[in-house]
Amino acid sequence: MRVIMLLAVLGAGMLASPQEPPGHVWTIQELFTRNVGTPTAQDAQFPPHKIIGNVYYVGTESLASFLVTTPAGHILINSAYERTVPTIRDSVTKLGFTFEDVKILLGSHAHGDHMQGDKAVVALTKARAYAMAEDLPALATIGGSAANPPVAYEPLKDGETVTLGGVVLTAHHTPGHTPGCTTWTLRVSEGGRTYDVLIIGSVGVNPGTNLVGNPALVAQYERSLNFLKTAHVDVPLGSHPAMYNMAEKYAKVSAGRPNPYIDPAGFQAEVSIQATAFANELKRQQVEGPPARRGGGGAAPR
């Protein structure tokens, strides 16, 4: 069953390796499509699994959610859409944990496909929710069922930490994709060694974004990319599984063999892809002018 599911996922091409095809220069539209995936991929449960140490994957084929377990309860990163919360809950249960033991809820950035489910998670678990201060206005309008009360986020600043059961996560403000886009880092232990884990919030440029008319936004992207370029990362993760080539790595997991999620070279390759796509889009707009404004009714940014 696992092999069949993996072949279906890989064959769909929505979780393709960020290094493929060889020599290909990704555009921002291609990266957007690669990351977001099809509506089916957004909703389809990916086999929940251990990544490394006490970090587990509990998301869908194209929307990443992570569970960090501790003796004092658990931390959930990214609730995805409200409709995704039952899938995440089921994944947590299949791993042998209790969803109601989630004590802290975190997120990557204030887009519906990553944090719309926050109200539902908090209603189910009574978890404390944290978010970068710059994203709080957008989170207040992100939607979700009116039956669940608004989330009282505890605001974060760049470099602040969230701690539970001896686990420390650091919030890095990596704006551009959203004003408060957040990259999370933590250290985990496995096999007598300690590894640096980083979860990219996002540095993707949404199609239709005006860069040439917004130098402050350009500066935000440049700052965020510079942070990623200098970060020490053993285990790269991201708000979309395609950012770290999850499907291919999951297929390689085998007892007694090296953990494929330990991939510092893959992290540098992904950062290079994102930086090149950003630079090329900025150059294109400098020559051709800003993109046309997108009208209402389009898909929400990711």
Residue 162 within a domain? yes
Residue 302 within a domain? no
Residue 301 within a domain? no
Residues pairing with 68 in the sheet? 55, 75
Two structure tokens written together for 39: 């509506």
Q: Is the pLDDT of residue 123 over 80?
A: yes
Structural contact between residues 259 and 190, judged by C-beta atoms closer than 8 angstroms: yes
Task: Find the Cα–Cα–Cα–Cα dihedral 71, 184, 130, 83, rounded to 10°.
Answer: -90
Per mean pLDDT, which range of 29-33, 278-282, 293-297 is the poorest? 293-297
Please give the single-letter amino acid code of residue 42.
Answer: Q
Residue 156 within a domain? yes
Q: Where does the pLDDT of residue 27 fall: very low under 50, low under 70, confident under 90, or very high at 90 and above?
A: very high
Q: Is the pLDDT of residue 281 over 90?
A: yes
How confident is the model at residue 246, as a pLDDT?
Answer: 98
**In the predicted model, what is the mean pLDDT of residues 224-234?**
98
Domain CATH code at residue 113: 3.60.15.10
Q: Where does the pLDDT of residue 14 fall: very low under 50, low under 70, confident under 90, or very high at 90 and above?
A: very low
Per residue in 147-206, pLDDT (tens digit) is 899 999 999 999 999 999 999 999 999 999 999 999 999 999 999 999 999 999 999 999
How confident is the model at residue 259, as a pLDDT?
Answer: 97
User: Whose structure tokens read 């189910």?
Assistant: 124
How confident is the model at residue 143, as a pLDDT?
Answer: 85
Instruction: Please give the tally of structural domains in the chain.
Output: 1
Residue 297 within a domain? no
Residue 300 within a domain? no
Domain residues for the domain of 262 are 2-288
Q: How far apart are CA 282 and CA 218, in angstroms?
A: 8
- Mean pLDDT of all residues belonging to the chain: 91
Residue 116 within a domain? yes
Q: How far apart are CA 205 and CA 34, in angstroms?
A: 13
Q: Where does the pLDDT of residue 20 fall: very low under 50, low under 70, confident under 90, or very high at 90 and above?
A: low
Residue 105 within a domain? yes
Beta carbons within 10 angstroms of residue 26's beta carbon = 17
Give me the helices (H) in the chain, please.
Answer: 2-12, 28-36, 39-43, 85-94, 112-115, 118-125, 136-139, 215-230, 246-252, 264-288
Q: Is the pLDDT of residue 298 over 60?
A: no
What predicted TM-score, i.e. pTM, was given to this entire model?
0.90
